[in-house]
Structure 1
Amino acid sequence: MAFEIRQGESFTPLSFSSVQAGDGALYAASLGGSIYRTGLEGVWERLSNPVPEQLTVNRMALYGEQLFACTNKGLFCHGFEQWEEELEIPCFQYRVEGGCRYAATAYGLFCDQTGSWGSIACYDKRVYDFLNLPQLLILGHEDGLSIYDRMTDEWAGFTVGAGVTSLAVYKGHLLGSGEHGELIVGNKKGRFERTRFAGLFVYSVMKRGGHLFGCTDKGLYRIGIINGYPWLFSFVKGGPVIDIDVQNGQLFMATLYNGVKTVQMD
């Protein structure tokens, strides 16, 4: 399955903040708050806006035929050709795991297991991302990291010198992106190092297609860990890449200046 991306006559935005690929559909959110969809025929259509004015889409998530938009106005779900509001507070990440729905918000991590949302952690912090692992619940927030150990029923907080805006685990290392463009890497001993790469601003880190990627202002990079240290290897050169997704061997990039771009994975 391959998408042929071409612009329709009324499709003009070039700046995008998020992209999601599913079976038979590709979604992209513009910086202006509009969300677009295209099928295999490659013609883009604009979905109705979940909120009419001053909307910023931070991230999107796709589950089946339901598209979720995490925005500065709240969490919205698009299904059956219309939007429904899920949460009325700013939202940064959404995932469904283990029969529960989770949302990272401006007022902590929220969970919905029985049809009703409630805050379960860090209600006094702006939570940007989270990882729900078998033993650990890891939150990236405005003050750094908070980690809950299910075996000991204890929380641990880590101040890393920056807000943590995205999280990923790669080869046993916990990695994140910092709000100032740095890469944050755990040493597996309870300490975290901030690494700046000259001339690069890292927007986010994410695992896709078995690889760890860094979205930066100079293009897309693959991230490797060599002797415990992070290395960045250029994958797609160019301008800022804000978000990526992978579907059936194709990698899709939401870029700041060049619309939605696609490359074939190796």
Structure 2
Amino acid sequence: MRLALGVCYLGTAYQGWQSQSTGLTIQDKLEKALAQFCDVPRVSTLCAGRTDAGVHGLMQVVHFDTLLERDASSWVRGTNRYLPSDIAVQWAQVVPESFHCRASATGRRYVYILLDSAVRPSLETGRVGWIYRPLSEDAMRQASLHLLGEHDFSSFRASSCQALSPVKTLRHIQISKRGAYWRFEFEGNAFLHHMIRNIMGCLVSIGQGNQSPDWIREVLLAKSRDAAAPTFSPDGLYFAGPIYSPEWGLPDTTPAFDWLP
């Protein structure tokens, strides 16, 4: 039986998603909890999109194969019993064996939350990025238009990126503000390592008037990481989840979506 899970987590205390020898990753904690619930030595999972250290997950989707048959609510409650308080399974659903959490995804979504304040974050530490100089919404929106569509995003790619190709398609970028909080939403077919954080560095530089909106097009065409702004903080970055065809019948969001500004 193949099971899919929707998982939310706060990434502040962890070394990213992918399992490491330290055991201090989201995958390590989830697999340990699943093994305890299933009463087996090990459970191996695959995820829809790996996240870096400090990056959060609103709806990470994982799948794994198991012989244990339980109803969906038992999988949720039983696994959460063994998870730390900053990681929680939100839903569980049996899926066909043809389902693959990564390969079946038609797109992925990220959200970046940025606090615009003269005073650094306190209650939101680790949950938001921070700037103390005002941003121009119009300038950032103009700049974001240059990024839409299919492009070679080498200028926004980390040197450690393992993607086979730097060519990706950005379908949607939305920028809005609620009170002191900026919200940046990104949707694309796939993303490169550090791609969103590197785009954020450029958008913030443009929003603060350090560069013109057209500069981001020059960065894009340069196809060189050296052309772009420094990588922005991981603190306010959230993996909002993969996008699947309705035929799979999987949830599209979790309650955490409504928690964000």
* Rg larger in structure: 2
Structure (1/2) with the larger strand percentage: 1
Higher relative contact order (CA 8 A, sep 6+): 2
TM exceeds 0.5? no
TM-score, normalising length: structure 2: 0.29
TM-score, normalising length: structure 1: 0.29
Structure (1/2) with the larger helix percentage: 2
